Amino acid sequence: MSNTTPTKLVLAAYHESGHTVVAKLVQKPITNIILRTDPTEDWGGEANYNPFSGIDSAWEMLDLDRHIPYRTLSLPYPGHLYPEDKYKYVRDFCAINYAGLAAEHLLYEQLGILEKLALSEEDTFDIKQIKACIEAKFPTEEQEKEMRNAEVRARTILSNPICWRMVENLANEMTDAVLHGKEPTKREYNGILLTEYKFDTSVIYASFAQTIIGKRQLS
């Protein structure tokens, strides 16, 4: 175990990997991950998925679902009948949004770092989105409980050994790619030149396959 504070790049990679793993576990098709930095070397990114579909042909062809601990995590899985939850969409959204911060916290805990994790702009934005979504859907007396549920659900999923390995390996692969010559793209946003590294579905799912079954696919 090391008490060395992770770099901003590593934190960004874990943050986006956390979002992505939780999104996949609640049956969302993954689109891509983008890691980006600005001239001050401040890192961030985005984890993109399709929130409106549970059909994911790229994932289905890998035959990985039988290795995913859906039952252990009390999550719906393919072919399984489960009680209808009219708030499933909003609860999935909130858990996915909290997962970036949860992954950062779990990384700190794994490294034995006791200092408080400073919230990044992305962490703050994620929490604001969760609060806005909950406030729009739940009465005031239930909102605090739903906020806590989002945090607990994200941490529970990511704390599972299989899921955490999925986060770790994906984050490490993306970090290594950035540090070892992956070609970036440049984009100007509000007068700031951003350097972006994009990781498509094939790269993400190949990493998951390598983690889960020890065999790389779709790379």
The answer to the question of residue 218 being in a domain is: no
Using an 8 Å Cβ cutoff, are 153 and 147 in contact?
A: no
Q: What's the number of domains the chain is made of?
A: 1
Q: The CATH number of the domain where 83 resides is what? A: 1.20.58.760
How much is the pLDDT for 219? Answer: 53
What's the full length of the chain, in residues? 219
What pLDDT tens digit does each residue of the chain (219 aa) get?
Answer: 456 889 999 999 999 999 999 999 999 999 999 999 999 999 999 999 999 988 899 999 999 999 999 999 999 887 776 778 899 999 999 999 999 999 999 999 999 998 888 898 899 999 999 999 999 999 999 999 999 999 999 999 999 999 999 999 999 999 999 999 999 999 998 899 999 999 999 999 999 999 999 988 765
How much is the pLDDT for 83? Answer: 74
List residues bridging with 36 in a β-sheet: 44, 196
- Read out DSSP for 65-93? GGGS-TTTTT---TT------TTHHHHHH
What is the residue range of 70's domain?
8-213
Specify the DSSP class assigned to residue 112.
T
pTM for this predicted structure: 0.95
The answer to the question of residue 3 being in a domain is: no
How much is the pLDDT for 80? Answer: 74
Q: How far apart are CA 132 and CA 90, in angstroms?
A: 11
The answer to the question of residue 1 being in a domain is: no
How much is the pLDDT for 1? Answer: 47
